[in-house]
C-alpha cells in the first residue's frame, strides 16, 4: 500500500479501534499494532505518525505493558493518549502518581499555548477524562500545554522531538475538539496529506484484484449482509463474470429479502449469481426441534453443508473470496486483561469461514480486510449498492430461526415475516428509523384469547423489539413514541393474519440479549 501510515500502538484501552477510525476519518490510513511489536518492524513500516492508546494499567506496575525508549528515537512524531501519555512521561524520566481525585467524564480543560495540536481549539473546552493516575513531573525538555482543575498536566509536549501527549481521550465524541486535536497532530505535526480516500481505495483495489486474479475464477459466499455485498460489488467491478456469488437462501430471511438480494446482484452487477433455495431441507431438519441451541446448530450445519456442496459443484480451481473486514482480524494487545506478552488474542468471527479439508482453492481473497464498517459502507455507496443493503441492520446468521420461539414451521415463518415487514414499514414512515440501531418482530409462540367483531379469537402474540446501542455489547430498549407503537399495534392486528395481540419488549441488555434466542 502506498498510502501514508499512522500506527496506533495498542496498550489495551477500550477506545483503540475508535482512535483508528478517527484517524481514518481524517483521511489518513491507520493500522492497530500490539504494544510489543518489535521496533524494527515499526521502522520497516515507515509510519508517518504513531499514537499510543490508553489502557487499564498503571505504568509503575511492573507487569503493565511497557515500550522500549528506542521508539522515541526513530524520528516519527508520537501522540500519547491517557495511559499512552503517562507511559511517554514515565519512559522518558518523568513521574507518574496516583491521583488524589480521579477524573472521570466530561472535564473542562484550559489551554493557553501556541501548541500545534491546539490550533483552532478555544482556551477552554470540554474533554473526556478517565484516569486514576496522572503525570506529576514532566521529563526534561517537555512543557505543559493544558490543565484541568484536578490535573496539572492535561496535555504536554516536546515539539523539537515531535512528542505530544494528552491525558484525555480526543477520539471520544464527548471531547468537543477531539477530532480537531487529532487532525492537528496528523496534519500540523506529522505532515500527513490526507491520501486515504475511498475513491482511490476502489480504484487501487480493483487494479490489485485484477492483477491477483488474472484469468482465474473467484467464488464468494454472499449472505446479503453489508460486508459480503460490498465485497461482491468490488469483485464484480474488478473481474465481472469471472466472479460467482453463491447465495444460500434457507427461507429464514425477512419478507422478500432473498428476491431483493438476487435482483440487486443480477440486475446491477456483472457476475454469475447462484441462488440455492433450500427452505424445505431446513424445515425438515428443524422439524420438532425446540431447543434454541440445537436449532442454531442445525441451521449452521445445514447452511455449511449446502454451501460447500455448491462450491464443490462450481469447482475450486480459482480463488475463494470472503467479506472479512479489519475489526475481524485485529490482533489485540490488551495489556493485562489478556495476559500481555502471552498468547496473542485473535478475534474469531463468523465472517472467517473454516473450509473443509477436501476443498482447496488457489488462494483466499479478502478485499475489505483493511476497512472499518463505516468505510465498507462508504465503498458500498460509491459502488452503487442499494441503500437498504449498505445500511442493513445486523441480522443473525440463523435468521428468523432465532426469532421464532419453539418449533419452526412454515406457517410461523410466514406470520413473522409479515409482522416484521409491517413493523419496519411503520418505523420507516414515522421517521425514527435512524435513531434505532436494530428493530424487529419476534414470534414467541404464545397464543392468547382476543375478540374480533363478535367472535372470540385464539391466536398469536407478536413481540416487537427495538434497541439503541453503540456496540451491541450493551443495549437499551428504544423509547419509541406511544403514537408510533399504537399504529404498529393496530396495523399488526388488522393486517397480519393470525395475530391478535402485540407486546413491546422493554428489556435492556444486560440482563436481556437483543435476540430472544
Distance of closest approach, residue 251 Cβ to ligand XMP, in angstroms? 17
CB 209 within 8 A of CB 302: no
CA–CA distances in Å: residue 473 to residues 76, 177, 376, 397: 36, 27, 21, 17
Q: Is 82 a catalytic residue?
A: yes
Residue choice 396, 406, 444, 450 for contact with ligand XMP (CB under 6 A): 396
Per-residue contact track with ligand XMP, 429 to 468, x per CB under 6 A? ---------x------------------------------
**397 lies in the site for ligand XMP, by CB under 6 A:** yes
- 509 sits near ligand XMP (criterion: CB under 6 A): yes
Q: Is 398 in the site for ligand XMP (CB under 6 A)?
A: yes
Residue nearer to ligand XMP on the CB measure, 175 or 324:
324
What is the bridge-based pairing of β-strands 243-249 and 95-111? unpaired
Nearer of residues 68 and 513 to ligand XMP, judged by Cβ: 513
Query: How many alpha carbons fall within 13 Å on the CB side of residue 362?
Result: 12
End-to-end CA distance of the chain: 43
> Under rule CB under 6 A, which residues in 462-501 are in contact with ligand XMP?
472
Q: Does 301 bind ligand XMP (CB under 6 A)?
A: no
Distance CA 16, CA 24 (A): 13
Could you say whether residue 347 binds ligand XMP (CB under 6 A)?
no
- Least separation in angstroms between CB 16 and ligand XMP: 21
**Pairing outcome for strands 319-321 and 218-221:** parallel
Q: Is 401 in the site for ligand XMP (CB under 6 A)?
A: no
Pairing mode, strands 5-10 and 49-52: parallel
Mapped onto helix, strand or coil, the DSSP state of residue 358 is coil
Print the binding letters for residues 157-186 with ligand XMP: x by CB under 6 A, - otherwise.
Answer: ------------------------------
**Share in percent of the chain as helix, strand, coil (round to 5):** 35, 25, 40
Residue 350 found at the interface with ligand XMP (CB under 6 A)? yes
Closest approach of ligand XMP to the CB of residue 514, in Å: 4
The distance of closest approach from Cβ of residue 515 to ligand XMP in the complex, given in angstroms and rounded to an integer, is 3
Q: What are phi and psi of 469, to 5 degrees?
A: -170, 160
Q: Is 363 in the site for ligand XMP (CB under 6 A)?
A: no
SS3 (DSSP) at 446: coil
Closest Cα to residue 13, out of 69, 66, 57, 79?
Answer: 57
Q: Which one, 11 or 440, has the nearer CB to ligand XMP?
A: 440
| Residue 328 Cβ vs ligand XMP, minimum distance, rounded to whole Å | 12
Cell output for 490: 393496530
Q: Which of residues 369 and 396 has its CB atom nearest to ligand XMP in the complex?
A: 396
- Residue 281: name the closest of 258, 312, 262, 304 by CA: 304
Reduced to 3 states (helix: H, G, I; strand: E, B; else coil), residue 180 is helix
State which residue, 104 or 472, has the beta carbon closest to ligand XMP. Answer: 472
Q: Would you count residue 349 as binding ligand XMP (CB under 6 A)?
A: no
30 labelled catalytic: no
The reply on whether position 60 binds ligand XMP by CB under 6 A is no
Alpha helices in 132-278 (DSSP H): 178-184, 198-213, 226-239, 257-267
The grid coordinates listed for 64 are: 503493565
Name the minimum Å distance from CB 236 to ligand XMP: 24
CA distance 494 to 32: 52
Sign of the CA dihedral 270, 320, 296, 408?
positive
Q: Does 394 engage in binding with ligand XMP (CB under 6 A)?
A: yes
Closest to ligand XMP by CB, 150 vs 515, is 515
Listed in sequence order, the residues at least 6 apart from 114 whose beta carbon sits closer than 8 Å to its beta carbon are: none
Stretch that binds ligand XMP, among 77-85, 275-283, 318-326, 507-515 (CB under 6 A): 507-515
514 binds ligand XMP (CB under 6 A): yes
Assess contact for 383 and 233: CB atoms under 8 A.
yes
Contact at 8 Å (CB) between 149 and 131? no
Q: Is 121 helix (H, G, I), strand (E, B) or coil?
A: coil
Q: Which residue in 171, 187, 185 sits closest to 53, CA to CA?
A: 171
For the CB of residue 466, give the shortest distance to ligand XMP in the complex, in Å.
12
Q: Among residues 6, 30, 82, 192, which one is catalytic?
A: 82
Q: Which residue matches cell numbers 513521574?
A: 95
User: If binding is defined by CB under 6 A, does position 505 make contact with ligand XMP?
Assistant: no
Task: For residue 311, give every residue at least 6 positions away whose Cβ sits within 8 Å of its Cβ, in sequence order, or none.
Answer: 219, 221, 246, 320, 359
For the CB of residue 445, give the shortest distance to ligand XMP in the complex, in Å: 18
Q: How far is the CB of 170 from ligand XMP (least distance, A)?
A: 29
Stretch that binds ligand XMP, among 17-25, 55-63, 268-276, 506-514 (CB under 6 A): 506-514
- Residue 100 catalytic? no
Catalytic annotation, pick one of 157, 171, 302, 426: 171
Total of chain residues touching ligand XMP, rule CB under 6 A: 11
Which residues are identified as catalytic? 82, 169, 171
Q: List interacting residues with ligand XMP (CB under 6 A).
A: 350, 394, 396-398, 438, 472, 509, 513-515
Amino acid at each position: 500500500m502506498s498510502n501514508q501510515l499512522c500506527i496506533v500502538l495498542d496498550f489495551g484501552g477500550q477506545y483503540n479501534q475508535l482512535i483508528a477510525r478517527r484517524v481514518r476519518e481524517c483521511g489518513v490510513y491507520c493500522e492497530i499494532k500490539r504494544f510489543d511489536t518489535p521496533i524494527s518492524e515499526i521502522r520497516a513500516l515507515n509510519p508517518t505518525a504513531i499514537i499510543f492508546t490508553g489502557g487499564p494499567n498503571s505504568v509503575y506496575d511492573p507487569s503493565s505493558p511497557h515500550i522500549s525508549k528506542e521508539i522515541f528515537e526513530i524520528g516519527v512524531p508520537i501522540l500519547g493518549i491517557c495511559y499512552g501519555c503517562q507511559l511517554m512521561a514515565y519512559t522518558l524520566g518523568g513521574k507518574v502518581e496516583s491521583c488524589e481525585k480521579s477524573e472521570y467524564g466530561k472535564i473542562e480543560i484550559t489551554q493557553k499555548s501556541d501548541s500545534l495540536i491546539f490550533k483552532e481549539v478555544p482556551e477552554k473546552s470540554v474533554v473526556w477524562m478517565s484516569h486514576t493516575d496522572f503525570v506529576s513531573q514532566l521529563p526534561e525538555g517537555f512543557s505543559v500545554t493544558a490543565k484541568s482543575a484536578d490535573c496539572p498536566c492535561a496535555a504536554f509536549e516536546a515539539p523539537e522531538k515531535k512528542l505530544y501527549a494528552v491525558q484525555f481521550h480526543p477520539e471520544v465524541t464527548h471531547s468537543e475538539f477531539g477530532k480537531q486535536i487529532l487532525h492537528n497532530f496528523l496534519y500540523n505535526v506529522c505532515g500527513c496529506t490526507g491520501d486515504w480516500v475511498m475513491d482511490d481505495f476502489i480504484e487501487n483495489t480493483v487494479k490489485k484484484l485484477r492483477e491477483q486474479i488474472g484469468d482465474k475464477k473467484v467464488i464468494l459466499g454472499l449472505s446479503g449482509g453489508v460486508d459480503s455485498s460490498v465485497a461482491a460489488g468490488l469483485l464484480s467491478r474488478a473481474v465481472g463474470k469471472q466472479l460467482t456469488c453463491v447465495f444460500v437462501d434457507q427461507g429464514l430471511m425477512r419478507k422478500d429479502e432473498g428476491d431483493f438480494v438476487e435482483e440487486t446482484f443480477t440486475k446491477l452487477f456483472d457476475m454469475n449469481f447462484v441462488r440455492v433455495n433450500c427452505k424445505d431441507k431446513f424445515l425438515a431438519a428443524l422439524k420438532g426441534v425446540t431447543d434454541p441451541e440445537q436449532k442454531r446448530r442445525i441451521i449452521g450445519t445445514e447452511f455449511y453443508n449446502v454451501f460447500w456442496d455448491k462450491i464443490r459443484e462450481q469447482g475450486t480451481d480459482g480463488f475463494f473470496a470472503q467479506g472479512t473486514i479489519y475489526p475481524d482480524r485485529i490482533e489485540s494487545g490488551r495489556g493485562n486483561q489478556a495476559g500481555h506478552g502471552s498468547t496473542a488474542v485473535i478475534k474469531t468471527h463468523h465472517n472467517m469461514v473454516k473450509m473443509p479439508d477436501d476443498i482447496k482453492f488457489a488462494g483466499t481473497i479478502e478485499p475489505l480486510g483493511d476497512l472499518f464498517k463505516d468505510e465498507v459502507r462508504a465503498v458500498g455507496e460509491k459502488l452503487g449498492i442499494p441503500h437498504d443493503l449498505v445500511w442493513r441492520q445486523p441480522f443473525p446468521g440463523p435468521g428468523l430461526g432465532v426469532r421464532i420461539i419453539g418449533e419452526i414451521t412454515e406457517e410461523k415463518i410466514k406470520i413473522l415475516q409479515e409482522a416484521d415487514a409491517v413493523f419496519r414499514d411503520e418505523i420507516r414512515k414515522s421517521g425514527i428509523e435512524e435513531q434505532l440501531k436494530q428493530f424487529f418482530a419476534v414470534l414467541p409462540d404464545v397464543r392468547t384469547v382476543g375478540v374480533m367483531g363478535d367472535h372470540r379469537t385464539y391466536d398469536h402474540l407478536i413481540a416487537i423489539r427495538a434497541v439503541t446501542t453503540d456496540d451491541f455489547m450493551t443495549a437499551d430498549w428504544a423509547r419509541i413514541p406511544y403514537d408510533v407503537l399504537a399504529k404498529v399495534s393496530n396495523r399488526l392486528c388488522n393486517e397480519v393474519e393470525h395475530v391478535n395481540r402485540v407486546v413491546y419488549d422493554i428489556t435492556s441488555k444486560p440482563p436481556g440479549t437483543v435476540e430472544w434466542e
